[in-house]
Amino acid sequence: MIFLLNSLDKNYQTKIIKDLSKIISKSPFFTPTLPRFNNPFKIKISNAGKWGWVSNVNGYQYVREHPITNKKWPKIPKSLLFLWQKHCCKINLPDSCLINLYSFPNSSLGIHQDKNEKDLTNPVLSISLGSNAIFRYGENKNKLNEICLKSGAICMLKGSSRLYYHGVKKIQKVKKNIIDTCDFDCFPKDCRINITLRKFEF
């Protein structure tokens, strides 16, 4: 797993947050549920791109439309495609952009693998914005490492780490949350946003 800490400066983070606000105005956040048991996640999500990742009683799936609005997901903004081209691949662009909203202090994400994509040789790129996250990761889910991901950090699952287990243990409040300074109503105070870019189709 590759970590690029403090990778994005404040201006670029602000640009991404503004782009995200436009996505959320068309495809609002919703709460996914766990397969089979239908219990709610401790985060909210939305998507951009051709394919959006969702979870419900029927399982984990990639779908073409927002489950509430029944409209197609907005396009992935250029600010995010640029980062994929810079760090992953210049030609084979992502077709899915998952946006996770972590509200302070009760959000978390269980340990899991990213393995619903059709070609697991494609990397996964993740961007952290806002409050800190205590991120857990490792090849063995019973022996995990921890790292604090601050706003502007980039994380990549690629090569031998593509199927690493990972999750978010907890959210840590910061003195100046860059999301709060942008003052968009779609993001709660002291939150963390994580953006995950993936290539679902071949």
Say if 35 falls within a structural domain.
Answer: no
Say if 189 falls within a structural domain.
Answer: yes
Angle made by CA atoms 190, 16, 105, in degrees to the nearest 5:
15
Model confidence pLDDT, tens digit, residues 48-72: 999 999 999 999 999 999 999 999 9
Say if 169 falls within a structural domain.
Answer: yes
Say if 139 falls within a structural domain.
Answer: yes
Cis peptide before 105 (omega within 30 of 0): yes
Say if 110 falls within a structural domain.
Answer: yes
Q: How far apart are CA 74 and CA 190, in angstroms?
A: 25
Say if 9 falls within a structural domain.
Answer: yes
- Distance of alpha carbon 66 from its chain centroid, rounded? 16
Q: How far apart are CA 33 and CA 57, in angstroms?
A: 7
- CATH code (residue 150): 2.60.120.590
Whole-number average pLDDT of the chain: 97
Q: How far apart are CA 49 and CA 96, in angstroms?
A: 5
- Distance of alpha carbon 120 from its chain centroid, rounded? 17
Say if 18 falls within a structural domain.
Answer: yes
> What proportion of the chain, given as a percentage, has pLDDT over 70?
100
Q: What are phi and psi of 3, to 5 degrees?
A: -115, 130
pLDDT at 90: 86
Domain holding 155, by residue range, is: 2-28+43-198
Using 50 as the pLDDT threshold, list the residues of the chain that sit under it.
none
- Compute CA distances 90 → 78, 96, 174, 196, 197, whole Å: 13, 16, 34, 17, 14
pLDDT at 18: 98
Angle made by CA atoms 19, 25, 27, in degrees to the nearest 5:
100
Say if 36 falls within a structural domain.
Answer: no
Domains identified in the chain, total number: 1
